[in-house]
Amino acid sequence: MENISPEFLEQIFFKLKKAGVISSVRGPGGGFLLAKTPDQITAQEIFEAVGERLDITPCASCADSMASGKAANGNPKECERLPFCHVHAIWADAADHIIQFFGNLTVQEILDRYGEPAATP
């Protein structure tokens, strides 16, 4: 059990619905259901829908990386160390692999790979 408060869960479901990941059914027996089949929904879509980023370091989201991080104003972050940084490209490449992994990982694959979680006492 994750012990997620109903209020927080409601916020997550609202974001998922707004992004078109889930839909809702009103009335008795209603609830939420996936808006697409599990093989059409990626983990990255879910992360993006709820506002989670996949940055592994602040460096990986600098302006010239493919991860294209954003500052509070929505513009790409700029790093003053970028012109002489020797590891930025490594972090950017690693971030790209992570984004690609979650962009290709579907809900169906998660279910197939990991199945039902073990019951906790």
* Domain locations in the chain as residue ranges: 6-114
Lookup: tokens for 63: 């302006």
DSSP the chain: -----HHHHHHHHHHHHHTTSEEEE-STT-EEEESS-GGG-BHHHHHHHTT----SSTGGGBTTSTT--B-TTSSBB--TTGGG-SSHHHHHHHHHHHHHHHHH-BHHHHHHHH-SPPP--
Residues in CB range of 20: below 8 A, 6 or more apart: 35, 36
What pLDDT was estimated at residue 117? 62
- Which architecture, in CATH terms, is 6-114? Orthogonal Bundle (1.10)
Can you give the pLDDT of all 121 residues of the chain as single tens digits?
Answer: 678 898 999 999 999 999 999 999 998 988 899 999 999 999 999 999 999 888 787 777 776 543 444 444 444 567 777 778 888 888 888 989 999 999 999 999 999 998 776 555 5
Query: Which residue in the block uniquely carries the two structure tokens 């490209």?
Result: 89
Identify the pLDDT of residue 59: 75
- Predicted pLDDT of residue 76: 53
Based on its alpha-carbon atoms, the radius of gyration of the chain, rounded to whole angstroms, reads 18
For the purposes of burial, counting CB atoms within 10 Å of the CB of 29, is it exposed (0-12), middle (13-18) or buried (19 or more)? exposed
Q: What is the pLDDT of residue 66?
A: 39
**Which structure tokens are listed for 42?**
């990626």
Q: What pTM value is reported for the model? A: 0.72
